[in-house]
Structure 1
């Protein structure tokens, strides 16, 4: 031992390292049992032979490499048995016999460019589209007493939320198929829609619904949404032939004419853009292809109703979307089936409650948007499709949770002032032509701007907003009744009232000259910090401006309280 201590330091260090290596090599190797802890998707497939056939698809299409890179993806992963069934369905014996373009489409329809766990699924479309561009639809099914989450109504998820290094995997028992039939072809293929098909052909709309998807310079797709009626629905209303429909609706004798009544009947069943049931559940009014004609939409106890409205105290029942026969994705749009006959009805002005948080970019953040425990997030200028502003390009427009606000959230304009975000412009939902009072709901902030101007389609409205003003407390010493408060241009929009509640200011009256979407702007020339807004209300001038009030928080999401339901005015 003394000899060892007399050795030079460098030599002693080398002997210590060598000894450690010898002992390490004699220690049993610890095998990492979990292959999905850090592996990226492609390596995970390589490590699990039960998914080798989908791995072969990725290899053939050259997608294997990018699915192994850093990112946040969701993969709906078919088992080998599912791929074998696909091969049997298309009549080939191996993946090499499938055209490359088909395999590329198959790969892309199974991949989303976002990480989405099943906790973010709803009974409808997933918030983010597949890499093919089509949305996937989730639902629920009970098979032999076992509950499954379904995808596109054909595949069952048999293993979910498998975490990998670059996202999450959901294993499915059937290969998803790309929707390659047009709206017209899909309708014609259903024998129960034969009369609707005849009407489409008689009016020239079959050819229009048979066009391939195209995009304009702004990358806006030519998607259409069609609301179809089955033969049975037509029959219940007394229409069993095309001639019967012509006799009822054709006004010119030429159904091909865009102004003919039968042509307008078809136009009224077609809505621009891609709208799934989830969209009908959250958007109150939709413009149709019939000029200046709209369809209203309401979600009542889980059922979506179209044109279910009350006028002059009389309830129009409307028609319901048949859930199980809807959300049918086509190559150029989406198809829904309704349970009743409907046609153009003259529309009076209707209230529009524009929750400023209803932005597609916010909704795409499925981890936080309207989720319990969701945290604030936002985007800078250029990050929104329906919001623009003048001023800073680096300050953010953000989603903020607030349990006192409608739907449990509010928007934050970071520094609404001349040296910050000076002027923010929103694209409204569809507003039916008519005369409206406009109310802006906000959460007060003692350091916010005390002079915010409002504009409708570029025209300044008559009143300004002082974002430092709090809502009048109906239980305080300075309490004012609802009606007196309204006469002063204010109201308490939430029920029940809380001292931290939202305030609302009447900013003016406008004449909406055309039915459609419009521009609403908030502008500040005064200094101020963060500005928090909730809802912009467009209420017809002859409507009660106070009731219904809004329910606050996620628990009451989208809900209202009527005067009859409220024991007091506060």
Structure 2
């Protein structure tokens, strides 16, 4: 009887287990259909009441759905108090009262098409422009002992690096405003620049700086024939100086300015010294402090004249040069008064009055690997043991035939390849320098001051399967060829070797690098030029190039040498 009860209990337990399994198997399986529950920008704003007014701005401009899709964005989100202050400033009761086109421009100014964390900020321009097209400026402020990051010098970041599903959010306490005044109007609006404004008007440059971006149609009639041309009006950058800077130079009025500089007594004449005084302060292109800091020299609107640039302990110095052993101190760019965005450019300020420097030909040591596209790869550029290959579509100032990438190499110290012995420790690597691979490799040079120069091309030689190359300057073939299979030597007297068109360009000497004189050129205008290399053979191996030197013909062609593996010059 006892055994029968145990069996009955066992059967009932088995039945319960069977029915449970059957029920589980008949129930539809719940599958998690997503792996990331992080909210995108729009949904994040919906979940946070403090940002409801910026969300309304996105909705009114039809950006709300756009900012809820896949992407990699940086959004500067003004809180509700910031939006209320903005509405008050523009005389609007609600977001919908703001003209829709104005609202769209404001919204686009707050969005970048790339994730930029605060750790990527520098004291100046963010490298990626806003969707509106204008760049944002970041900096640091200390108010009552509290430090904060500023944006466009007016807004503080109150919360940063908020990760969302399609990018990152920085919360700000003031709505960013689109720069809608031209350079001329922006300068005129500053009472501290009143004398500079008078100089602009007296020389006709005010009208130039007042032209909006776009195109202009010019019609001319010659001999009964009418010709119409369209000219693009692009960005400009202006180096202004305050009334106090003029006063320190003994200039208190436009009359003083004319007396000092207007040698033709006709400021509207482009050849008049006062006109040149102004045009020397106007730079082509959009150039923020971050751009000035990495430039060796700046082209100006003064014909054939440039401004040299030096970065010293974080200070940008203009025209600081040493001539005949005498240091000519440079003019300091005032960071606090610079990087002011206008609708057609950017405004800077200098702390000292200055005029055009009389320039004599000066050497240019053109490191071929020092290209902006390589320089922006901060984990690679001049970091030993690294390399990067970029397609030609990515370059602004380098072009070539063929589809191969151009490779930058910064060799490991003590490398068996000896590539680390190059100047700055880096080289350009060219895979099969020949037709159908890489051919007609053309570089835009740094600014070269007008004059007569000898051009030297240095390379890492290899005994076989390397090219013979012809060099062109501004499209004109130079007389001497470069044989990448020729080895350097120090067994021949260096002056005898120079007379034969060879030298060692780096010190200490290594026979792994050779340097060839390709010709003498007369540079007719101060500015950037082109140098092109054409392979005349069909080698099967990699070629390497280091530096192109432009040395004035009356300068010693051997000294100073370039520092092997370093960035200096060796007397």
Separation in 1, partners of 2:82, 2:394:
39
Separation in 2, partners of 1:184, 1:247:
24
Q: Do the aligned residues in 2 keep the contact of 1:126 with 1:136 (CA within 8 Å)?
A: yes
What is the CA distance between 1:413 and its match in structure 2?
3.1
Q: Do the aligned residues in 2 keep the contact of 1:417 with 1:529 (CA within 8 Å)?
A: no
TM-score (norm 2): 0.82
For structure 2, list consecutive stretches of 5 or more residues without a partner in the other structure.
1-9, 217-228, 413-419
RMSD: 3.7
- Is 1:418 aligned to 2:435, yes or no? yes
Assess, with a 3 A threshold, how the Cα gap between structure 1 residues 418 and 370 changes in structure 2: closer, same or farther: same
Assess, with a 3 A threshold, how the Cα gap between structure 1 residues 116 and 373 changes in structure 2: closer, same or farther: farther
Q: Do the aligned residues in 2 keep the contact of 1:416 with 1:448 (CA within 8 Å)?
A: no
Aligned counterpart, 1:92: 92
Greater alpha carbon shift after TM alignment, 396-405 vs 370-379 = 370-379
What is the CA distance between 1:88 and its match in structure 2?
2.9
What is the CA distance between 1:212 and its match in structure 2?
0.8
Separation in 1, partners of 2:272, 2:136:
37
For structure 1, list consecutive stretches of 5 or more residues without a partner in the other structure.
473-477, 564-570
1:386 equivalent among 390, 394, 397:
397
Superposed CA deviations along residues 119-170 of structure 1, whole A, max 9, x for unmatched, are 3332222222221111222222233333333222222333333333433333
- Is 1:454 aligned to 2:471, yes or no? yes
Q: Do the aligned residues in 2 keep the contact of 1:284 with 1:352 (CA within 8 Å)?
A: no
Residues paired across the two proteins, number: 538
Assess, with a 3 A threshold, how the Cα gap between structure 1 residues 123 and 368 changes in structure 2: closer, same or farther: farther
Assess, with a 3 A threshold, how the Cα gap between structure 1 residues 59 and 15 changes in structure 2: closer, same or farther: same
- Is 1:247 aligned to 2:259, yes or no? yes
What is the CA distance between 1:289 and its match in structure 2?
1.0
What is the CA distance between 1:446 and its match in structure 2?
6.6
What is the CA distance between 1:113 and its match in structure 2?
2.1
Q: Do the aligned residues in 2 keep the contact of 1:110 with 1:130 (CA within 8 Å)?
A: yes
1:350-499 residue pairs with structure 2 within 5 A? 350-362=362-374, 376-380=388-392, 382-390=393-401, 392=402, 394-402=403-411, 404=420, 409-443=426-460, 449-467=466-484, 489=501
1:310-321 residue pairs with structure 2 within 5 A? 310-321=322-333
Separation in 2, partners of 1:414, 1:488:
29
The residue matched to 1:50 in structure 2 has which SS? helix
Separation in 1, partners of 2:25, 2:385:
50
Aligned counterpart, 1:193: 193
Separation in 1, partners of 2:82, 2:184:
29
Q: Do the aligned residues in 1 keep the contact of 2:54 with 2:83 (CA within 8 Å)?
A: yes
Assess, with a 3 A threshold, how the Cα gap between structure 1 residues 426 and 237 changes in structure 2: closer, same or farther: same
Aligned counterpart, 2:179: 179
Assess, with a 3 A threshold, how the Cα gap between structure 1 residues 494 and 336 changes in structure 2: closer, same or farther: farther
Aligned counterpart, 2:234: 222
1:271 equivalent among 276, 280, 283:
283
Q: Which has the larger radius of gyration?
A: 2
Aligned counterpart, 2:55: 55
Q: Do the aligned residues in 2 keep the contact of 1:183 with 1:209 (CA within 8 Å)?
A: yes
1:62-141 residue pairs with structure 2 within 5 A? 62-141=62-141
What is the CA distance between 1:371 and its match in structure 2?
7.3
Separation in 1, partners of 2:21, 2:176:
61
Assess, with a 3 A threshold, how the Cα gap between structure 1 residues 148 and 352 changes in structure 2: closer, same or farther: farther
What is the CA distance between 1:82 and its match in structure 2?
2.6
Separation in 2, partners of 1:104, 1:514:
44
What is the CA distance between 1:532 and its match in structure 2?
3.5
Assess, with a 3 A threshold, how the Cα gap between structure 1 residues 444 and 139 changes in structure 2: closer, same or farther: farther
